[in-house]
Amino acid sequence: MDIKITPLKNITDQHYQLLLEADPNKQLIERYVQRAFCFEARDESDLVGILVLLPTRPDTLEVVNIAVIAEFRNQGIGRQLLMFAEEYARSNHYISLEIGTGTTSLAQHYLY
């Protein structure tokens, strides 16, 4: 699948639905997206995933939200988003890239 990852300027309802799959607190999402770097993954014109990176300390970037639309899961899109996050952090001179999860799901732990 040929995925294109680009900066996200305007968060639509479709983006919010996807963000809410990874973080069910809309108020929290609204707070962190205001100060984060947001990216969307598309397969041609179809939204397939989203990534939100938040600077937490001067040299640290955190993956605060990453989600892939259900029908596109298990196709390597999450891995591509994480590899993009790593390259973005490196090219923007961050020393650490962190990721945390509030879930014990094996699928998320396997991806991370």
pLDDT at residue 62 is higher than 70: yes
pLDDT at 4: 97
Q: Could you give the C-alpha distances from 10 to 56, 91, 92, 105, in angstroms and in order?
A: 22, 24, 22, 30
pLDDT-derived band at 101 (thresholds 50, 70, 90) equals low
pLDDT at 91: 97
Greatest distance between any 2 Cα atoms in the chain: 37
Q: Please say whether the beta carbons of 69 and 81 come within 8 A.
A: no
Interatomic CA distance for residues 64 and 50, integer angstroms: 11
Paired tokens of 107: 């699928």
Percent of the chain at pLDDT exceeding 70: 89
Between 10-14, 26-30, 83-87, 105-109, the lowest mean confidence (pLDDT) is in 105-109
pLDDT at residue 99 is higher than 60: yes
